[in-house]
Structure 1
């Protein structure tokens, strides 16, 4: 270290007495160290805070406990989710394995989803994209260190989670909500060694009155409380040991309650502001190589082409990739990473218009969707609020349009989607209302993407600002 008595830093100055830190310098440097540790820990924690926020959403909005299923459908309910749409309903559940393994009897029917651990790493796809291909399956869920029972039922799938908490999220693929309810009502969850009671698994809905809790990452000090809840009782993995050591100095540990002192609160609150700003930048101004779908438009892959659901690759961790992805959404699966034409789903994101400017709710834009979109099933476009990453909020309760709808077509078969505050004459069926004073971004989804999407021979033009 230099023996100079003053060194310029992010604090005004640091004073040393013949190279030894003075008491004030030591205090300032520990504040700097803990602030930087907190800011990096904020980014590191985004996946698990997102999953924990999903659990909080289920508890607050539906009174759900471990093993309960919650059906989420319609604009109001789906608005509480990150990066979702209202095309088909969702079903969530969380499972606590801390006491014993659980058995999940997943139902037969048209569904698709995933079981993920508390760091948003898939254990297994379920439903049409799972090992049962929609025919129903039995899963035995094991927590860290739990041994597989010797009498596993024939044909059951044993899944080992690296965390004691597991989240299930899936979609009912039938357009009829009653049929979706009937399918998931057949689900059974019970501790291993017990038989499922006839009515042991509840299918709940969100409350219809009062405010709902969003699954978005909380702001400020509540972010850290959510993190403390997420890691409570969970083992520390090798890759996370340095973060665990840094968080201990900030009053956050897996085996104690969160009760920060005044200094820690101040540092955590400031770091949450900085961390959220960095996370938003990583998501909306990515510096990850290969994110642009094509060079002739601003559409980007939502998921980095090199993304691995384990979040780790030889030689390192996909730190920025996972931070950006899980700032925008919660929940992933093998199906969303598929490169098999006609399977799974693909996601393109637009954060800026054709000129590179952000989208303003008081302005009108147009997207011309070419004919013959390479989607085996259907395509959709959905708008999201930049601040919440949930559906844009408007009086019409309308955030998306899809090829499943009766949209107005142009003579060449293309479809103009209009995005703006006022309905366009003659294209009302193609309109998504935006709100003045609010910014937004868009996802274009292809369900069952085909070869011309994967080889990028298909082109999706930019969203264009309309004059006047």
Structure 2
């Protein structure tokens, strides 16, 4: 059985065919082709990183005075809008994550989930595994079910692989809270004394990014009356 090609991918297949890459045929690149393809792959990786970690889509920055981005800028799972498919939005999302559903882009309070991404600190500097950071989560986060904060490795886009064997902090855990119900989360090579349960270990020499998820987000998220602070470097 010959696998079919999605209609929207047929032009991509034509581009590959012009390079000598066709289904069912051997690919034997010469030295110049091999070098060009390797360079193209490296450039493609840089484009993918810029497209994902420095988003320029309209409305991607959720709060104008915060660094948090809307991670999933796809209108619906088909990635189709009236006159075109969301090529760059699709490639941004699927470079750093997998799968999407209507629940992930729901605008109905109390249903689905929402994903906010941070790639830089409050000053716009890339998150550095050798530095220490704090995230203040204000009281009463707008999540009917729970919230979570997860740390990922920039290169693999997988959960951070640290000696602590932990990448996630959430309201389902026994976190140390402040008197007003807010929570301070910490990220860095070593745990701050007294806040070990509120800490995720990062790795010197590696950069990281994070998703802050709200499950069953409430009206305070959608009307932006509740704001999440930026990740701040701790001097």
- TM-score, length basis structure 2: 0.95
Alpha-carbon deviations, 1:173-204, whole Å to 9, x = none? Answer: xxxxxxxxxxxxxxxxxxxxxxxxxxxxxxxx
Q: Alpha-carbon deviation of 1:422?
A: 0.7
The 8 Å contact of residues 251 and 264 in structure 1, kept in 2 or not, is answered as no
* 1:288 paired to 2:92: no
The 8 Å contact of residues 344 and 448 in structure 1, kept in 2 or not, is answered as yes
Match of residue 357 from structure 1: 125
Of 154, 167, 177, 1:386 maps to 154
Q: CA RMSD in A?
A: 1.4
Alpha-carbon deviations, 1:260-319, whole Å to 9, x = none? Answer: 322432222111111111011100111111101111210110111x52321221121211
Separation (CA, whole Å) in 2 of partners of 1:441 and 1:258: 39
Match of residue 248 from structure 1: 17
Match of residue 98 from structure 2: 330
Match of residue 184 from structure 2: 416
Distance change >3 Å, CA 258–CA 285, structure 1 → 2: farther
| Aligned ranges 1:107-118 → 2 under 5 Å | none
* 1:406 paired to 2:165: no
Separation (CA, whole Å) in 2 of partners of 1:393 and 1:448: 28
Alpha-carbon deviations, 1:398-440, whole Å to 9, x = none? Answer: 1111100010001111000011111101111101111111110
Q: Alpha-carbon deviation of 1:448?
A: 1.0
The 8 Å contact of residues 380 and 401 in structure 1, kept in 2 or not, is answered as yes
| Aligned ranges 1:63-74 → 2 under 5 Å | none
* 1:374 paired to 2:142: yes
* 1:465 paired to 2:233: yes
* 1:431 paired to 2:195: no
Separation (CA, whole Å) in 2 of partners of 1:421 and 1:294: 29
State the secondary structure of the residue aligned to 2:64.
coil
Of 35, 41, 51, 1:272 maps to 41
Match of residue 442 from structure 1: 210
**Greater RCO, 1 or 2 (C-alpha within 8 Å, sep 6+):** 2
Separation (CA, whole Å) in 2 of partners of 1:244 and 1:441: 33
* Residue ranges of structure 2 left out of the alignment (5+ in a row): none
Q: Alpha-carbon deviation of 1:257?
A: 4.3
* 1:397 paired to 2:156: no
Separation (CA, whole Å) in 2 of partners of 1:272 and 1:372: 45
Alpha-carbon deviations, 1:197-233, whole Å to 9, x = none? Answer: xxxxxxxxxxxxxxxxxxxxxxxxxxxxxxxxxxxx3
Separation (CA, whole Å) in 2 of partners of 1:260 and 1:324: 31
- Greater Rg over alpha carbons, structure: 1
State the secondary structure of the residue aligned to 2:40.
helix
Distance change >3 Å, CA 258–CA 269, structure 1 → 2: farther
Match of residue 301 from structure 1: 70
* Residue ranges of structure 1 left out of the alignment (5+ in a row): 1-97, 99-232
Alpha-carbon deviations, 1:133-164, whole Å to 9, x = none? Answer: xxxxxxxxxxxxxxxxxxxxxxxxxxxxxxxx
Match of residue 339 from structure 1: 107
Alpha-carbon deviations, 1:356-408, whole Å to 9, x = none? Answer: 00011111000011111111111110111111111112111111111000100
